Amino acid sequence: MRLSRLLLCVLALSAAAPAFAQSEFPFDSELIFDVAPMRGSKKIPNMDVSADGAMTLEMWCNQVKGRLVVAGNTITVLTESPTARQCPPERVQGDTELMAALADVTTWKRDGDKLLLIGTKTLRLRLPTN
């Protein structure tokens, strides 16, 4: 009788573990923006986030370093100045829009293998599943 109760408890906890893991911010991960590449390019913006919140964001054209400050479901994205690579105007504009959207992010939410950064716009990022 005790063994069957113990087995039921273990099964219940193991079923709940993925739900708990999905409520945690995915530090120490590479996150890929869920967008199509710009015409003439295969590049998609991505963000590497370390365990301590330091991040490197590779945008359409430039790269920017910064920090993610997470407390509960709130998030603040702090960025340094981006690099100054020479790129076509549409990629520079894409970087400008992405930086503005990140500056307005206030909350985050996990949805399966997706991370939603929510502000004036909702940015969708994918966690690699391999």
Output DSSP code: residue 82. P
Residue 6 has pLDDT above 80, yes or no: no
pLDDT for position 115: 96
What does pTM read for this prediction? 0.79
Q: Give the pLDDT band (50/70/90) at residue 23.
A: low
**Domains, the chain:** 25-126 (2.40.128.270)
Note the pLDDT of residue 128: 81
Q: What are phi and psi of 92, to 5 degrees?
A: -60, -45
- Mean pLDDT over 51-78 rounds to 96
Dihedral angle sign, alpha carbons of residues 36, 38, 40, 41: negative
Residue 130's pLDDT is what?
67
Question: Cβ contacts of residue 117 below 8 Å, gap of 6+?
Answer: 75, 77, 102, 105, 107, 108, 123, 125
**123, pLDDT greater than 80:** yes
pLDDT score of 19 more than 70: no
Could you give the 3-state DSSP secondary structure of residue 104?
A: coil
